[in-house]
Structure 1
């Protein structure tokens, strides 16, 4: 596994696509309505800080993945429960991404297709790609990312043509002050989607050149955050704060309002294309991160069989995790994001960095 290498530009493409992932389709900052774009900007700044923590940890242990460095920082026996939690986190997050894709397709173009058929078909594609190793997955990013960005830019251009598009829908800015926005942003905006980039600590050791990891990571988070911010502004200008705050797939709803010369419409297929690409980045990254974690934990020399087994588990989890999409969202944003994400993506990395810093400092004397 260690002989596989990925390039810096490949890492950047996958990271940006990963940040956008499902977040660009789902409405972020629904509770703060017209201030959603500020909510996302706050999350972007926090995400850049988290990425600094992640990359600094990787700088202390450049040849180790997250799972490999934890025992070196806190000891062999204390590390086992933490490692298992990260593997669960990556596995369950992949299942959540697949469920979101399945529900989107079930509510749009595949209304008569059973959810299990959609999710299984998608996971077969992801597993087929990942069984070739880390290099094919990141090379796929080079192919998919330009298509993803082109579709996004085309959607934004089309949204400008919507008759009801009005930037005044973003006003009044901070009508209730900054406090409600900050309250919603911490820790939700930090954790989703920016904190989820912690999975890339599983991939940093495979880079051809590790000199620019911090720069690539921070720029990727910043670029992804800017795209999410602009996307939120575009959607809000079309839908208005009230519809935006009550809509599950806000970008899809806004795109369905596009009509050109009363002839060209139903551009929502572009949104579905983006969702498939975004979930490919996200589910693939989480799945391979979990597979690497299990391989390192049990000293396995390959991840193919692990990937296949995890794929089966992810399919099952995505189907049984919730009875409906509303329940799925509530579990995510009321429990998983504020508690599990906060612990594993913010608290644990900060503690690991502090301990690693002390270990490195005292080892010099």
Structure 2
């Protein structure tokens, strides 16, 4: 796999699709009420800072993934616990993305289908794609991403036809002050989805041209922020802040209100299409990161068998992680976000950058002397 490469556009498609993958279906920033769209814009600024950290680290070690550069930054013996931690982290988040996908299908078109069959079928297709290597994944991104964006724009156009559509639902701006916005931004929206872009550090070594690495990273965050902001504006204009804050899948709820001439209704299939496309990127990204990490750890020359092993772990993990959707969401918001996302997405990478910066300065000063 180390011989294959992807170009800048493929990386852009994969990581933007990864960030917005299953995010648009959920209601982010609901605590800020009508200012939820401002939560996204504010979190995007933090996302740009995080992307700067990731790309700066990658510029110091351009041919190495996040886990490969750890021994050169913090030393060989301190490295292994963090490699194990990130592998577990990536694997767990892949299982959560699968569970998101299955829960949406169970709530819409596959009501009586056991989750294990939904998740198992999807993971089978996902592993088949990933076994082809990062180049295959990048080419699939070129195919799937336009489908995702096309579905999203069609949904937005349909929402404009909803009788309840009222842009005044977004007023008054800053009606509750700036405090609710900040509370929603950190740690929730900053880490999901912007902090999840840390996975890009597992793809950087496979980029065929690293000259514009920072520009690609910033373009990814800006595109994600704009798409999510526009999506939130459309949903809030249809549902209003009160309903938006009390439904599991606000985009699905808003789309169900579409009725054209009392004939064209129930556009749930578009949401399902988006979710399938989005989870393709999300699960693929996390699984790829975990497989590459395992290959680094055990010095494996190929990852095809690793993907098969991960598939047998991710499927049952997605099933047993929580008994129901409510407990699943509470675990993610109350524990994972603060005690897992924040350290691994924000604190540790910033610490790594500081140490790497000092090491580079010290080594350059030593060479000059």
Q: What is the TM-score normalised by the length of structure 2?
A: 0.98
Q: Which residue of 2 aligns with 1:12?
A: 12
Tell me which residue corresponds to 1:312.
Answer: 312
Inter-partner Cα distance in structure 1 for 2:202 and 2:183: 31
Q: Which moved more, 1:173-182 or 1:59-68?
A: 173-182
Aligned twin of 2:236: 236
Alignment map for 1:109-188 (pairs within 5 Å): 109-188=109-188
Written as runs of structure 1 = structure 2, the 5 A alignment for 1:240-319 is 240-319=240-319
Contact 1:15 1:217 in 2 (8 A): no
**Most deviating of 182-191 and 122-131:** 182-191
Q: Deviations over 1:294-342 (max 9, x none)?
A: 0001100011111111111111110000000111111111111121000
The answer to whether the 8 Å contact 1:96/1:318 transfers is yes
Q: Counterparts of 1:164 and 1:232 in 2: how far apart (Å)?
A: 15
The 8 Å contact of residues 39 and 181 in structure 1, kept in 2 or not, is answered as: yes
Cα pair 1:42 1:189 within 8 Å, conserved:
no
For residues 209-224 of structure 1, the aligned pairs below 5 Å read 209-224=209-224
Aligned to 1:326: 326
Gaps of 5+ in 2: none
Aligned partners of 1:35 and 1:334: how far apart in 2? 22
- 1:126 positional shift: 0.3
Whole-angstrom CA distance in 2 between matches of 1:122 and 1:55? 32
Partner of 1:347: 347
CA shift at 1:51, angstroms? 0.5
Instruction: State the Cα distance separating 1:173 from its structure 2 match.
Output: 1.7
Q: Is contact 2:32–2:176 with CA below 8 Å preserved after alignment?
A: no
Which SS does the other structure have where 1:343 is aligned? helix
Q: Is the 8 A contact 2:31 2:180 kept in 1?
A: no
Shift of residue 48, structure 1, vs aligned partner: 1.0
C-alpha deviation, 1:184, in angstroms? 2.0
Measure how far apart 1:83 and its partner are.
1.1
Task: State the Cα distance separating 1:42 from its structure 2 match.
Answer: 1.1
1:15-30 counterparts in 2 under 5 A? 15-30=15-30
Q: How big is the shift at 1:222?
A: 0.6
- Mapped to 2, the partners of 1:233 and 1:334 lie a distance apart of 26
- Structure 1 contact 40–229 (Cα < 8 Å) conserved: yes
Is 1:6–1:208's contact at 8 Å kept on the other side of the alignment?
Answer: yes
* Displaced runs of 4 or more, over 3 A: none
| 2:343 paired with 1:337 | no
Q: Structure 2: how far apart are the matches of 1:238 and 1:8?
A: 36
- Counterpart in the other structure of 1:78: 78
Cα deviation 1:160-184 (Å, max 9, x = unaligned): 0000100111112222210121122
Counterpart-to-counterpart distance in 2, 1:55 and 1:333: 27
Structure 2 CA distance for aligned equivalents of residues 186 and 51 of structure 1: 16
Match of 1:64, SS state, is coil
Count of residue pairs brought into register by the alignment: 365
